[in-house]
Each structure stands twice: as structure tokens, then as C-alpha cells.
Amino acid sequence: KTLDDVSDLHGKTALVRVDFNVPVEDGRITDDTRLKVALPTIEKLQKSGAKVALLAHFDRPKGKVVPEMSLRFVAPALSALLGTTVAFADDCVGADAADVLKLLPAGGVALLENVRFHAGEEKNDPDFAAQLAALGDIYVNDAFSAAHRAHASTEGVAKLLPAYAGESMRRELDALNAALGTPVRPTIGIVGGSKVSTKLDLLKNLVGKLDALAIGGGMANTFLYAQGHEVGGSLCEKDLKDTALEILKEAEAKGCRILLPLDVVVAQDFKAHAANRTVDLGPPLSADDKIFDAGPRTVTQLKDVIANSKTLIWNGPLGVFELPPFDAATVEAAKFAAEQTQSGKLVAVAGGGDTVAALNHAGVAQDMTFVSTAGGAFLEWMEGKDLPGVSALG
């Protein structure tokens, strides 16, 4: 159920779970995307005359009150974005919260203190969930990026109040469904990042669903090694050789074409602008050579497959994009995917971990069909897992 299914909210309290776990440096929010994505839900509820009580976590205080992890700093930033004063309650349950909500006018907004200051949150304790539920008339989950956690504010409370998906949650679920649920085919996935070990379930799930899967980043080295290529001193999980071979075999059985690097860019020093050379796979690399990026032949092949695909799902960079020139493959592939998307030929959905940073680095995040705000939740969803915060919405 979405907010379109709710009526007559005037004066009622909507308890809205948002994800304000934002990056902060020296007390300043360095990326306010997660605040911005919550605005449509908040504004919609305000318009309907509801009192909006925002529930969120920040960092990992482990069930204790840690003053440095207070959410208070978010209230002024959110006030500025909304153009309305956002009240702040020193606790997310009990009298502190109830008093702030009582004083709120219809259409008013209050942010409640970090739910993780209470041990009951992460334990999904029914009593704590009941204390949260006591504050509201309806529950709205707009935090897809926290939906992989079965916590009281994401899961428990959804069972105690009429529960709805917020606007951002709905957009995330629609986009993810368009990418992997019922996609327009042919489909291609790009999975990069450093380690195969962190993405085993994800790779296994994707080879059963996609028509093609490009594997890049450090994790490609493990696959190249499994196929008998020398990878020199590159990051490589040699103990996962058999697992990598199994994944390749499964992909073949399921008709998923695997794209591995055809050529690579190697350097010996892990630093920006390190002396480097591009080599085709084949001749052994020296023990000091480390693969930091995919080469131009690999990118040409990848672009070719993207050009013949209708849907792309992307997680993880193809090389060490933080250190130029080892960002070249990621940037070129991202720009090409963005062009295809802008000309209406491709649905491109990206998310998880470093992916958003890599697409921002390439300057094309805004040109993709959808970029998820989620890290861990996006990965778990790509693994094919049920997300408790989504399942609880019924």
C-alpha cells in the first residue's frame, strides 16, 4: 500500500521511517541526498494535514545514548530543505517524543532522536516497537536503504499500525523491479568491486537471471586466475578458485554470458598517475604488476554488449576509480550507459557501495534511469533476499 491509499489524515500522526544516516565531516553533511529523497513523502503528508513524526537512525551507537551520534544536527538541514521549521525531540519514545508531537500543528514536522539509542531497536523488541507505535496513527516506511534490517522501526512497528510504503520506497521498489524483477530483455549486469567473497550470493543470483554479466574490479582477477591467467601481484582470492569456476559453469548452464577483462591496465605503485601499461591477457605478469583497471578492448566489448541490451543493472566500479588514470574503464562505460539511457535505448539502474561515488565521478549519476540511495539493502536485494522492512509492508 502506498500513500495514495490513505485518506483523512488531518490532525493524525504519521510515523515515518526515513534513512538520515548521512555522511558527515567536521559536523557538516557532505551529501544530503538521503534528506532530499525523503522530501516528497514528508510534503505529501504535510499537504494532507498530517503531523509528520520522523524516525531515523544515525551511525551505530549499539543501544546506548552516544551524544556524538545524536540526530539533532539533521533538523536544521531538513528545515532548510523543506522551508518549514522541523522540531526535534530528545527521545524517539515516551514523554519527550509525545510532548513534541502534541505541540505540532497539522502539517508540522518533527524529527525524533536516534532510534538506535535504545537497545530494543536492533533487537526488534516488541515492547519498544509498541512504544514507537503508540506515537502514531499510521506507519510509513520510506527507508529502502535500511529495509534489510529487521529492527523495531523498520519491521516491528509495521505490524502494529496500518503500514504504507513512502514515495521514495515506492520509487526504489519500482526501479529495482524494472531492473531485475520483470526487466525488458536483453539484460546486462555490471558487478565490480574488490572482493568476490563479499559478492558470492549476488553473483550466483545474477547469473540465473541476466543475459550477460560483466565482472570487473579486483574481483575479476579471481576469475582470471581461476581460468589459468597469471595475475602477478594483483588483489586475488586464490582460495576461491573453485567457487569462481562453479559460478562460470552455472552461468554457462543458465545461458548468462560472462564478460571478463580481455586486457588490463597494470602498475606497480598504488597511487594516482603511477607508471602503468596496458596488456592483453596471456603473457604472465611480473610478481610486482598489479591490475588496477580494465583495458580499452574490454571496454569496447562491454559497450558493444550494453548497446545490444535494454536493461542494465550496475553495482561496483571496474577499476580503482579513485586513482586516475585507473578510472578510465569505469568512466567510459558509465558515460556510454548514460548516453544509451538518455537516448531511450536503455533502462539503467545502479546502486550499492561505491557505485554512486563512481557514477558521480564520471559525472553521469543523474543520467541513469535510477540510482539507489541504498548500500547494503541494494546488495541484499541483488542477492535475491527478502528485505524485512519491505516484507513487513505486506
Annotated catalytic residue 353: yes
What's the rounded Cα separation, in Å, for the pair 247 and 219? 13
The one segment of 66-74, 87-95, 144-152, 230-238 that binds ligand 3PG by CB under 6 A? 144-152
Q: Does 171 bind ligand 3PG (CB under 6 A)?
A: no
Counting contacts by CB under 6 A, is residue 172 touching ligand 3PG?
Answer: no
Identified binder of ligand 3PG from the candidate list 17, 44, 149, 170, rule CB under 6 A? 149
Helix H or strand E encompassing 348: strand 347-350
Instruction: Rule CB under 6 A: say whether 384 interacts with ligand 3PG.
Output: no
Quick check: 35 binds ligand 3PG (CB under 6 A)? no
Q: How far apart are CA 78 and CA 183, in angstroms?
A: 35
Q: Does 121 participate in binding ligand 3PG (rule CB under 6 A)?
A: no
Sheet (strand 263-267) strand order: 276-280, 263-267, 290-294
Residue 63's nearest CA partner among 135, 114, 23, 18 is 114
Active site residue 34: yes
124 binds ligand 3PG (CB under 6 A): no
d(CA 201, CA 197): 9
Give the nearest distance from C-beta 388 to ligand 3PG in angstroms. 12
20 annotated ligand binder: yes
Q: What's the gap between Cα 367 and its chain centre?
A: 17
One of 376, 383, 384, 385 touching ligand 3PG (CB under 6 A): 376
Length, in residues, of the chain: 394
Active-site residue, selected from the candidate residues 1, 72, 195, 241: 195
Catalytic residue among 107, 166, 193, 353: 353
Distance CA 391, CA 393 (A): 5
Is residue 166 among the annotated active site residues? Answer: no
Q: How many helices (H) and strands (E) does the chain have?
A: 14, 17
297 is catalytic: no
Span from 36-44, 75-83, 143-151, 315-323 in contact with ligand 3PG (CB under 6 A) = 143-151
Catalytic residue among 49, 63, 94, 376: 376
Task: Please pick, from the candidates 10, 60, 159, 271, the single residue that binds ligand 3PG as defined by CB under 6 A.
Answer: 60
Among 15, 16, 19, 91, contact with ligand 3PG (rule: CB under 6 A): 19
Instruction: Please tell me whether residue 277 binds ligand 3PG under the rule CB under 6 A.
Output: no
State the Cα–Cα distance between residues 383 and 199, nearest whole angstrom.
8
| Residue number, 122 or 289, with CB nearest to ligand 3PG | 122
- Select from 288, 285, 286, 336 the least CA-distant residue to 314: 336
Query: Which of 312, 18, 12, 307 has its CA nearest to residue 136?
Result: 12
114 contacts ligand 3PG (rule: CB under 6 A): no
User: With contact defined as beta carbons under 8 Å apart, do 104 and 89 qualify?
Assistant: no
The answer to whether the bond into 283 is cis (omega within 30° of 0) is no
Using N-to-C axis directions, what is the helix angle for 167-176 and 33-47, rounded to 10°? 120
Is 300 flagged in the annotation as binding? no
State yes or no: 59 annotated in a binding site: yes
Residues at the binding site for ATP are 199, 322, 352-355
Residues that bind ligand 3PG (CB under 6 A): 19, 21, 60, 145-146, 149, 375-376
Kindly list the catalytic residues: 34, 195, 353, 376
